[in-house]
Amino acid sequence: MEILVNLDVMMARRKISSGELAERIGITPANLSILKTNKAKAIRFSTLAALCRELQCQPGDLLEFKEE
C-alpha cells in the first residue's frame, strides 16, 4: 500500500507556486518539494492543516491511498 500526495495537482488548480506556498505555511521549499515528489515518510498534522487552509481544500484532496 502507498499513500500519494497530490499536492502538485492542488497547487496547479489554485495557481500557486512552490515558493509562495512554502512561505505562506512556514516550511522550507526543500521540505515542500519532498511532499510534492512523494518522498515524505510522514507529515505533521499542523503542516497538513496549513496546506488545507492555504489551498482551501480537505486532507482527502491532498492524500490518496493506492494498493500496490
Using 50, 70 and 90 to split pLDDT, how confident is the model at 68? confident
The reported pLDDT for the residue numbered 33 is 96
- Global confidence as pTM: 0.92
pLDDT, tens only, 4-15: 999 999 999 999
pLDDT digits (tens, 9 = 90+) for 15-54: 999 999 999 999 999 999 999 999 999 999 999 999 999 9
Using a 10 angstrom Cβ sphere, with 0-12 exposed, 13-18 middle and 19 or more buried, the burial of residue 42 is: exposed
